[in-house]
Amino acid sequence: MTSYSHIKNLIEEQVQGFFSKLDTDHNGEVTYEECIDYWRGQGVQDPEYITDVIFLQNDKNKDTKISVDEFRKEANKLKIALAFNRVHELNLATFLSQFDKNSDDKITLDELESEYKRIGYMNPKAAARWIFISMDKNKDDTVTMDDLTNLFKKKKGVKPQQ
């Protein structure tokens, strides 16, 4: 049986390892530019988008840098942001058809969770619930192409103020 402290240590190792990848000058802080450079190097189509999400979630004191402590506190939210970025990059029609199992041009929470299970997410219920809640703006318990289109309209960047 895996102990809580063992799991906590594994998560800390992952957080520290990922933070180190972002913190290219190894000064204990990640700048907006370092974050964009990392995602660009990973081949992300819109590195500014994911960087904006990361800074909105992690830079709590709004100093345009993320400390390892800020990053650690928000590690779980980062995992969700990464999943959300993946959804953002998918073609919307393909996305809808991939999750719409009964071809009614709507996605339900069950359909979304089922697809996350199929592709092997560790916590498909949580990922599906978070993304579904983000997408179902009119609270009708479905996500349609209109919902997706409205959600993913390109907005001006939210780059932290300098």
CATH topology identical between 4-77 and 92-151: yes
Whether the CB-CB separation of 106 and 100 falls below 8 Å is answered with yes
Phi and psi at residue 35, in whole multiples of 5°?
-65, -45
* Residue-level pLDDT, tens digit, the chain, 162 residues: 444 455 566 667 777 888 889 999 999 999 999 999 999 998 888 889 889 988 888 888 889 899 888 887 777 655 556 556 555 555 566 767 777 788 888 888 888 888 888 888 778 888 788 777 777 877 888 888 777 777 666 444 444 444
Quickly name the fold that domain 4-77 has: Recoverin; domain 1 (1.10.238)
What are the extents of the domains in the chain? 4-77, 92-151
* pLDDT the model gives residue 80: 59
* pLDDT the model gives residue 29: 93
* pLDDT the model gives residue 161: 46
The C-alpha atoms of residue 81 and residue 57 are separated, in whole angstroms, by 9
**Homologous superfamily, domain 92-151:** EF-hand (1.10.238.10)
* pLDDT the model gives residue 45: 85
* pLDDT the model gives residue 8: 61
Whether the CB-CB separation of 117 and 124 falls below 8 Å is answered with yes
* pLDDT the model gives residue 154: 47
Phi and psi at residue 25, in whole multiples of 5°?
-95, 0
Residue 122: CA count within 13 A, CB half-sphere:
4
**CB-CB neighbours of 74 under 10 Å:** 20
State pTM to two decimals.
0.44
